[in-house]
Amino acid sequence: MLWSKLFIPTLRETPAEAEVASHQLLLRAGYVRQLAAGVYSHLYLGNRSLLKIQQIIREEMDAIGAQEFLLPALNPAEVWQESGRWDVMGPNMFRLKDRWGRDLCLGMTHEEIMTAIARGELRSYKQLPQMWYQIQTKFRDEARPKSGLLRVRQFIMKDSYSFDIDAAGLDVAYQKHYEAYRKIFARCGVDVIPVEADSGAMGGSQSMEFMVPSDAGEDFVVVCPACKYAANLEKAESVAVVPGTADPEGDLSPEEFHTPGLKSIADLCAFTGLPDSSQMKSLVMVAGGKPVLALLRGEHQLSETKFSKAVGATEVRPAHPFEIVDWFGAEPGSLGPVGVKNMPVVADVALEGRKNMISGANKTDYHLRNVTPGEDFQAKFVDIRQSQAGDGCTVCGAALEMKKTIEVGHIFKLGYKYSASMGLRVLDEKGAEITPIMGSYGIGVERILASCIEQHHDKNGILMPATIAPFVVAVTPVNQADPLQRAAAEKIYADCKALGIDAILDDRDERPGVKFKDADLVGIPYRITIGKKLPQGIVEMTVRRGGAPASEVAVDAVVAELKKLVDAEVAAAAWSGN
């Protein structure tokens, strides 16, 4: 390809609307342009990188025996209603009607459609297992699109689905996808942390997220640096830090005291002189339409995911202030568990064994001191809090760390959620009808690109790996008007193409500095510069990553040397499974 003939609209200044590094560089390097909030056009360079990512995905999915489909993005409401997700997805789903008034949606994912295909075609256990995948456009009506390609309303996704005769078969499919995902991310130059996750609206018994550590992320994961335990914040288990201040001694009884205008834990700490770990936080939640009182230590935060599992409810929300007054006869900020009879009380395990704590008195502007969990009130003790940095690892006891991350992939053991609700049945070897068990597995294609840039960039631009860079090498004559330089550049370019190296010839009539800056900005990992030493048979080779100075190479050997470097980089990116 000749640079002069391509549309590569690089920008020298950072657009004001771009905040995170990947968004800034994708715009500056001419990879994308925004059409609307959360809707982006992929330009020439961006599309080349995305196609390379998709090819890596295809190779690894094909290697585990998955078969590629392409399903419609436009879905009838009926299939989503069969699974029960038409209502569950709420405003995140783009909905529309056709000219006859029939309900349709734009697909966010394709569990329902794949299950409908399986239901119509699979008849016998002899046809299982099956693994089907697609790479296709998805739609999600994000309330707050942001961060360039990291949170969008239209995106490319690889989604795959497995159908097995039993749980043992699902375990095999799940593990195959885990290994394939590790290979995909490694080959794309993205460092990931696989973490235990909650299945959410997808359903199922087990799921794992693949998270990229990055300050641009909006998700948090808890990681043990010692034993490598990792889980997302919704799922993570930990041992709460022991309070630095001991509980007051003695078998004391609850005692009411006046706390005018004190509503927050911080207010109570200042008023009582006791730390937040001695305060009891009372949160009124509505689970399945019924009130539940959730209790935590003052410095802890509620995990709604853990709480919903503890109470067996799929939908939970904080109670409204008017509901709280109706149920407790007191305003929020003065609530507590003592004397509560009209609702269940669920207390975090960090409160078990504590004594003489402070809680609300269920009387506006009053609190109780000397409240002992399990003695002055009864509760179900269960882990309902979010883990925190510094908590103890439940596996090895080491202090846990918190990392900000970007989710790039998620795999689920769906179980029978879709196959059962949608009537998928096959005959087993005895001729009896059984329900196949399913798995679902997703990767965000644009998120791989954006995450790679977040992890690999510098002040000059993108540090793209050779595997997904729009071009592997820029062949750059310093003086395009010099016939010797031009001829040498054209030969090197042709030799690169002959060896399968994806090259671009920068034939523009521009200053060398402009050419070098553009190549660095757009993330071309190697550059061969043909300059004043050409009469001596010497050209320069520059490796974008690492910051090493350009090396002088014999013109006749430069392509072979480049091939060695590229092959070594590609080999190093392959995940071995260790």
Cα gap 550→542, rounded to integer Å? 4
Q: Is the same domain home to 91 and 189?
A: yes
578 pLDDT higher than 60: no
Angle at 329 (CA atoms; ends 327, 333), nearest 5 degrees:
95
pLDDT for the residue 232: 87
Nearest to 476 by CA among 512, 501, 500: 512
Task: Lowest mean pLDDT of 193-207, 345-359, 418-432, 516-530, name the range.
Answer: 193-207
69 vs 51: CA distance, rounded Å: 17
Confidence of residue 346 (pLDDT cuts 50, 70, 90): very high
Q: Is the pLDDT of residue 362 over 90?
A: yes
- Domain assignment present for residue 48? The answer is yes
Please report, in angstroms and rounded to a whole number, the separation of the first and last CA atoms in the chain: 38
Distance between CA atoms of residues 558 and 538, nearest Å: 9
What was the pLDDT predicted at 74?
97
Mean pLDDT of 4-28: 94
Which token pair is 371? 């409240």
Q: Which residue has the tokens 């809090």?
A: 385
Residue 177: pLDDT over 70:
yes
Count of other CB atoms within 10 angstroms of residue 380: 12
Q: Is the same domain home to 222 and 333?
A: no
Alpha carbon distance 9, 31 (integer Å): 8
Query: Token digits for 198?
Result: 């909650």
- Are 505 and 493 contacting, i.e. CB atoms less than 8 angstroms apart? yes
Half-sphere exposure of 108 (CA within 13 A, CB side): 20
Distances from the Cα of 429 to the Cαs of 237, 264, 278, 318, 435, in angstroms? 42, 63, 61, 50, 13
110 lies in the same domain as 219: yes
Same domain (yes/no): 231, 273: no
Amino acid 199: pLDDT: 56
Average pLDDT over residues 369-384: 95
Structure confidence at residue 137 (pLDDT): 96
Q: What is the mean pLDDT of residues 64-73?
A: 97
Counted domains in the chain: 3
Structure-token pair, residue 528: 């061969």
Residue at 553 is within a domain: yes
CATH code of 190's domain: 3.30.930.10
Q: Residue 221 — very low, low, confident or very high, per pLDDT cuts 50/70/90?
A: very high
Secondary structure class of 16 (helix, strand, coil): coil
Task: Please enumerate in sequence order all residues whose Cβ is within 8 A of that of 220, keeping only pairs 6 or more positions apart, or say none.
Answer: 232, 233, 402, 403, 404, 405
411 — pLDDT class (breaks 50, 70, 90): very high
Structure tokens at 228: 């490598």
The verdict on 164 and 209 lying in the same domain is yes
Among 333, 352, 382, the domain-final residue is 382
Q: Same structural domain for residues 183 and 285?
A: no
Q: Is residue 522 part of a domain?
A: yes
In this predicted structure, the answer to whether residue 204 has a pLDDT above a threshold of 60 is no
The string of pLDDT tens digits covering residues 421-467 is 999 999 999 999 999 999 999 999 999 999 999 999 999 999 999 99
Taking residues 541-567, report their average pLDDT.
93
Give residue 270's Cα distance to chain centre. Answer: 39
Report the pLDDT value the prediction gives residue 548, as an integer from 0 to 100: 85
Q: How far apart are CA 173 and CA 166, in angstroms?
A: 11
pLDDT at position 577, please?
Answer: 60
Sequential DSSP letters for 242-284: PPSSPPPPS-PPPEEEE-TT--SHHHHHHHH---GGGBEEEEE
Over residues 570-578, mean pLDDT: 77
**Whole-prediction pTM value?**
0.89
Mean pLDDT across the chain = 94
47 occurs within a structural domain = yes
Which domain CATH number covers 521? 3.40.50.800
432 in a structural domain: yes
Residues 78 and 207 placed together within one structural domain of the fold: yes
309: domain CATH number is 3.90.960.10
Regarding whether 428 and 285 lie in a shared domain, the answer is no
Q: Is the domain of 55 the same as that of 124?
A: yes
pLDDT for the residue numbered 547: 81
Contact between 46 and 26 (Cβ < 8 Å): yes
| Pair type for strands 473-477 and 503-505 | parallel
79/145 same-domain check: yes
Examine the domain organization and report whether 140 and 32 are in the same domain: yes
- Inside any domain, residue 245: no
Q: How far apart are CA 447 and CA 219, in angstroms?
A: 14
* Percent of the chain at pLDDT exceeding 70: 98
Length of the chain: 578
> Residue 509, by phi and psi: left (phi above 0), alpha (psi -120 to 50) or beta?
beta
At 205, the pLDDT band (50, 70, 90 cuts) reads: low
- What single-letter DSSP state applies at residue 125? G
Question: pLDDT band for position 61 (50/70/90)?
Answer: very high
| pLDDT of amino acid 247 | 87
Residue finishing a domain among 422, 454, 486: 454
In tens, the pLDDT along 470-486 reads 999 999 999 999 999 99
* Residues spanned by the domain of 481: 462-573
State yes or no: pLDDT of 366 exceeds 90: yes
Q: Has residue 36 been placed in a domain?
A: yes
pLDDT of residue 233: 87
Look at residue 200 and tell me whether its pLDDT is greater than 80.
no
Distances, alpha carbon 364 to alpha carbons 105, 335, 345, in Å? 48, 8, 20
- Among the residue ranges 197-201, 430-434, 550-554, 562-566, the one predicted with the least confidence is 197-201
The amino acid occupying position 548 is A
**Residues 81, 204 within the same domain:** yes
Name the helix (H) or strand (E) containing 540. strand 538-543
247 domain residue, yes or no: no
